[in-house]
């Protein structure tokens, strides 16, 4: 089962993973990322559209902390489940996606 964290809980999750190169994996399309994007402290942001993930598995470490983000949380959950099936062990899904981020953490992030 994939752990769900709210955008408000993500900072604490990243702090707990500090020193272990956590990744915020944004799986939205490039046009979506141009509309709204986040850069949380303590994580490396990677904006990889969902369909590119299988080809990029070699660029991720299986024991690396990875938080997956999309618009509302559906695509990111699919990607997190796929990563789990590929042997990745430290995964969370950002529940509600960037839309919830705008509502809960940073209202300057545009909603779309």
Q: Which entry of 14, 53, 70, 95 is annotated as an active-site residue?
A: 70
Q: Regarding predicted confidence, which is higher, 96 or 41? A: 96
pLDDT of the residue at 81? 98
pLDDT in tens, 67-108: 999 999 999 999 999 999 999 999 999 999 999 999 999 999
Q: Is 76 part of a structural domain of the chain? A: yes
CATH number of the domain that 70 lies in?
Answer: 3.40.250.10
Look at residue 23 and tell me if it is in a domain: yes
Evaluate whether residue 109 is within a structural domain: no
Q: Does the active-site annotation cover 70? A: yes
Q: What is the pTM of this model?
A: 0.94
> Is 41 a domain residue?
yes
Per DSSP, the residues of the chain read -PEEE-HHHHHHHHHHTTTS--EEEE-S-HHHHHH-----TTSEEEE--GGGHHHHGGGS-TTS-EEEE-SSSHHHHHHHHHHHHTT--SEEEETTHHHHHHHHT-TTSPP-
């Amino acid at each position: 089962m994939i752990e769900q964290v709210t955008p408000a809980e993500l900072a604490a999750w990243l702090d707990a993973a500090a020193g272990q190169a956590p990744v915020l994996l944004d799986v939205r399309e490039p046009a979506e990322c141009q509309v709204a994007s986040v850069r949380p402290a303590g994580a490396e942001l990677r904006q990889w559209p969902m369909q590119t993930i299988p080809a990029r598995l070699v660029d991720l470490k299986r024991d690396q902390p990875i938080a997956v983000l999309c618009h509302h949380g559906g695509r990111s959950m699919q990607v997190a489940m796929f990563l789990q099936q590929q042997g990745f062990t430290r995964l969370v899904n950002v529940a509600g996606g960037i839309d919830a981020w705008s509502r809960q953490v940073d209202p300057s992030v545009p909603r779309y």
